[in-house]
């Protein structure tokens, strides 16, 4: 019991001090369903960092800029994975996600997971490596939950309650 309390306190402290991921590591992510999105239709990779993206919608220009900050030259191949519970809502794009519903943008070459998970029907964000290490970083780095939120809820034409990728 004592150990549990200490762990809980340490958990709260680490959230407030280090401002890590807001959502837990989705341990069963390898069983999630791969979905098709505008990105996948474009070849399964984000445009390269030196590509001319000026004709794309601003949200995509900013996305390329953000993901290029993760790795010089761009993150390379990506895939989007959706937990079984979230699949219908993902496809319906009505934003009615339930607690625990999870979506992942898997940066395959980097072995990094961008995670969106729902609690109280609101999106929460996290960044993990494939083994579950929390690699969220400082605000403004592009790897902080608030950075995710700014874009994911800031573009109403592209996002529904934290789900992006509605650009066709």
Tell me which residues touch ligand HEC (CB under 6 A): 37-39, 59-60, 62-63, 66, 80, 103-105, 114-116, 125, 127, 143, 147-148, 151-152, 158, 163-165
66 CA to centre of own chain: 12
Nearer Cβ to ligand HEC (3/72):
72
Q: How far is the CB of 166 from ligand HEC (least distance, A)?
A: 8
Helix (H) or strand (E) holding 38: helix 38-41
Nearer Cβ to ligand HEC (131/168):
168
Contact yes or no for 26/83 (Cβ under 8 A) = yes
Q: How far is the CB of 68 from ligand HEC (least distance, A)?
A: 11
Return the structure tokens found at 48. Answer: 């390269």
Candidates 24, 162, 14, 38; CA nearest to 93 is 162
Nearer Cβ to ligand HEC (5/157):
157
Beta bridge partners of 115: 104, 126
């Amino acid at each position: 019991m004592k150990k549990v309390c200490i762990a809980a306190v340490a958990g709260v402290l680490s959230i407030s001090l280090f401002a890590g991921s807001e959502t837990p590591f989705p341990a069963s992510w390898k069983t999630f369903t791969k979905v098709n999105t505008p990105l996948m239709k474009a070849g399964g990779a984000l445009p390269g960092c030196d590509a001319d993206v000026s004709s794309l919608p601003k949200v995509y220009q900013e996305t390329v800029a953000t993901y290029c900050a993760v790795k010089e030259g761009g993150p390379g191949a990506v895939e989007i994975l959706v937990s079984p519970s979230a699949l219908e809502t993902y496809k319906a794009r009505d934003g009615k996600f339930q607690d625990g519903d999870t979506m992942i943008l898997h940066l395959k070459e980097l072995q990094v997971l961008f995670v969106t998970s729902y609690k109280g029907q609101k999106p929460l964000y996290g960044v993990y490596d494939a083994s579950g290490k929390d690699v969220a970083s400082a605000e403004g780095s592009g790897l902080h939950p608030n950075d995710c939120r700014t874009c994911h809820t800031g573009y109403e034409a592209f996002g529904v309650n934290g789900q992006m990728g509605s650009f066709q």
